[in-house]
Amino acid sequence: MALWCQDEAGPYQTVPYPGVGWQPTGQPVRQAHEYVRNGTAKMLTLFRPATGEVRGKGVTHAPNTVLHPWLQAELTQVLALLPTVTTPESERPALARWATWLGHAPREPLPPLRLILVWDNLAGHLSAVMVCWLFQHGIMPLYTPLSGSWLNMAESLQRIIVRRALDGQHPETQAEIIAWLEDTVAGWNQAPTPFVWDGKRRERRRRARARHLGGSAATIAEPQLNAA
């Protein structure tokens, strides 16, 4: 079973992007005097955590009419590279069966489940046309909960790509932002890094919560006024 995550990064403005660093006391970071907004750009992202492979495309805007055709084309290429499924549904592992993810057996014949797609719970992602297309191609959309888009690993990857592409730079056009983002994706794919759920970052968060809970956890109670 292949698992991919999809998200859209941005929008990013044509403004200076300060690099990571420190500033002396009393000398805060300031924007350059050339601060002029000249349009924004976004990056459509399809990410496979198991291998670290990224498929990205820079765009000036990302409505459904732009996102859906791009995603369908990319997923079609991904599916063409996956091995053909010949094992009957009843003999496949539980996580490779439609019933496991749907909570019930499919109500109409579907092709073998071949890919899980993690993406945000947005109205456009719930489009009946798009969801039906996914099902007809053996793809199960798995939506992150509301206010839980951070669970999508594509967002973690996008933060790395954007920092590498824009930190310390001053793009002056949308085309420059798009070119830098796409070049950074190409560079990443030269030596991709696999991502693991429940990895080191989760362990750091767990330790941080444990330190917080180790305190007194005392609070100030509001005084209760006696009725006259």
pLDDT digits (tens, 9 = 90+) for 95-116: 889 999 988 988 889 999 999 9
Residue 216 lies inside a defined structural domain of this protein: no
Residue 192 lies inside a defined structural domain of this protein: yes
* pLDDT reported for residue 169: 83
Q: Which of 83, 47, 76, 87 is nearest to 139 (CA)?
A: 76
Q: Which of 98, 148, 143 is nearest to 117 (CA)?
A: 143
Hey, what amino acid is at 170? H
Residue 136 lies inside a defined structural domain of this protein: yes
Number of domains in the chain: 1
Q: Give the integer Cα–Cα distance in Å for 157 and 47.
A: 8
Hey, what amino acid is at 25? T
Query: Tokens at residue 29, please?
Result: 């970071």
Residues of the chain with pLDDT under 70: 18-23, 29-37, 198-202, 209, 211-228
Any idea what the CATH number is for the domain that residue 126 is in? 3.30.420.10
Range of the domain at 97: 2-20+30-80+93-199
> Per residue in 29-70, pLDDT tens?
666 665 566 788 899 999 998 899 999 999 998 899 999 999
Q: Provide the β-strand partners of residue 3.
A: 116
